[in-house]
Amino acid sequence: MVMPLFDTASTMDASSAVPLGVSVPRADSGGTRHHAGGRANVACLAPAVPSLDIAYCPPGGEWRVQTLPNITRGVHHGIVEDLPYGSRYGFRPSSDNQPLPPAVPTGNNGVNGSARQPLLLDPYGRGVDQRDGVLTSVRTATDFDWGTDELLRLPWRNTIVYEAHVRGQSMLHPDVPKELRGTYAGLAHPAVVEHLTSLGITSVQLLPVHFHIDEPHLQDLGLNNYWGYNTAAFFAPHPGYATQAAQEAGAQAVQDEFKAMVKALHAAGLEVILDVVYNHTAEGGVEGPVLNFKGLGKDAYYRVDEHGKFVDTTGCGNALNFADPRVVQLVTDSLRYWVDEFHIDGFRFDLAVTLCRNAANEFDPKHPFLTGVAADPVLSEVKLIAEPWDIGYGGWQTGQFPPGWVDWNDHFRDSVRTFWLADRAAIDAGGHGGTMAKLADALSGSAGLFQASGRSRLASVNFVTAHDGFTMNDLVSYDRKHNEDNGEENRDGHGDNRSYNHGVEGPTENGAILAKRAQSRRNLMASLMVSLGVPMIAAGDELARTQQGNNNAYCQDNHITWLDWTLSPEAHEMLRSTKRYIRLRKEFLAAQPHDFPVRDEQSYLYWFDHDGQPMSADRWNDPHCRVMQLLLGDDNGELAGLVVVNGSASDVEVTLPDAGRRSPSLFELRLTTSPRHKERQGIQVPSGETDLAEANSISIYRT
């Protein structure tokens, strides 16, 4: 039974406008979940609301309503006497007399279409409760037994990122107990952790784990937003990724399970990076639901034009207004909270350009958000990864973010795919491919792309695949996207994939085609691991995972997106190869000085043709020249590496180079992506002598 109690006192109390959200009053002590009394300081920025109420329900109690008596620069604040940890709460304008929860269900997910929540979520709410079809914020405590856990602070040079989905990573894992599959606890299970550590990656980058909801059109189709790029609460972990037991226990248990996951991954030496979506919110455009910001102050929180219409640089109906300092504060407060309270090691920012658009809606590399993060003693010390584009004017900014940031390098992705797949398709069809120049630039870390921003090759996050697009296996198995299951008649998803099916579209039992696909997969993965910069693997590529040709599987929460752990012969072979490439990368870097490859005066990259002669301009520009050699290392390194690339359709006799005083007297073949790896591994070839570079392969030597 709902019995609202109204406090209409007009006198000011001892509350504070800072910090925003629900906190322990300054006059009180404590801060743990055992804080006595439940007194709380409540503060909410709601510049569009003349008077704001908080409606709240203590654990086991009844709903009450209290008007926040004070307003300071748009922040409504007051002291609430009985708001202990575990309380559900939300805000509403004082004139809004909608029934309180649980009286108004609004759909299977808390919102549907343009339906309005009976209460507005707290923008700073630490937990979200989904009960009776209604969303409410939840007050949670911050205490947790971290023991000696702390941020790992791995240097960028040694970082290998693994992009994963909490649910998809363990959903089909046979060694994970059924009740833990698809959860934070499942990701932290020893069987999953052992796979990650044995693979050799250093950092797990999780697709969005902030609380998110499904878009109305997906609900109508009976689908859900599997990727989670539809955030509704920037401070709350998504309860749907917690175990059923934690969900039933409430927001505090969900939070604790998430922290236990981070602690377990840290104990295994693995960083945790979050993919965060601050560019837009789940409220969508004008027809979207009203969850929080629209009801509290749309024109402050969102970018709008002179007519009050949403300016959308995200393709999602709205864009947060980073020209407003309060929005910048909201995001930096959220980031700091995840570092301080959840021990998060870094962030990958979805559509990061939107976060750096000034009052004129232009990208500004000196935007207050960027300068604020750089000056912040907490945020400046964690990993910051930009997806350096959005869909607005001037939205492609790869290479333009400031020092302290690294960028997803789409130039690397496109160059590697083109050389090994699109070019090969053209050659197999009787034509010819492109030149070696773009691949060489990609392998060497795209130095020119990042130089203008004052950054080095280590600012490049190199990737061939990501959550968005084909898997690596599908890149070599499909010429076209097959997104029919998404309910949009295959209109969604990118059409420019630079993929090659090697003669048959999709699954085949043709052994010759399967062998060609396997070698192309190895070429793609080896290119990723021998390149300078920071490599990122999409989860499952090491297992030859397929999404059946779907290159936009954002709404597929099923076997299409979950990792298949049955390990077919193709999966076994790809896993062995990936481990081998990662191990070789680590061995090479361990033999170089700590600042390799940043010191250009001592780090070297020498390019040679198949005759062992320095690459000439004519060679670089000749599309028929598909063989090159890269000698790289450091004057003070213990060994040098030689990468021989043969992108032609024929085997080629290659003369290993003589690079003067830096040249080794003997090269040892450590691996080749050709099928002859086992029989050729370990052979030694002196400088100036020839060795066989097999067609469509990479060979890697060391001194």
Active site (catalytic) residues: 350, 387
Dihedral Cα 547, 552, 557, 558, nearest 10 deg: -20
CB atoms closer than 10 angstroms to residue 377: 7
CA distance 254 to 345: 20
- First and final C-alpha spacing in the chain: 78
Q: Is-cis flag, bond preceding 50, omega within 30?
A: no
Q: Is-cis flag, bond preceding 237, omega within 30?
A: no
**Distance, CA of 242 to chain centre:** 19
Q: Classify the C-alpha dihedral 244-248-249-250 as positive or negative.
A: positive
Name beta bridge partners: 593. none
CB atoms closer than 10 angstroms to residue 204: 26
Count of helices and strands (H, E) across the chain: 18, 28
Nearest to 555 by CA among 171, 219, 275: 219
Q: Tokens representing 288?
A: 């979207």
Contact 382, 345 (CB under 8 A): yes
CA distance 495 to 61: 55
- 571 sits in which H/E element: helix 569-590
CB atoms closer than 10 angstroms to residue 548: 18
Angle between helix 325-342 and helix 251-267 axes, rounded to 10 deg: 60
Contact 490, 482 (CB under 8 A): yes
b/e burial code for range 380-419 (CB count within 10 A of at least 16 → b): eebbbbbbbbbebeebebbbbbbebbbbbbbbbbbbbbbb
* Phi, psi at 251, each rounded to 5°: -60, -35
Contact 154, 271 (CB under 8 A): yes
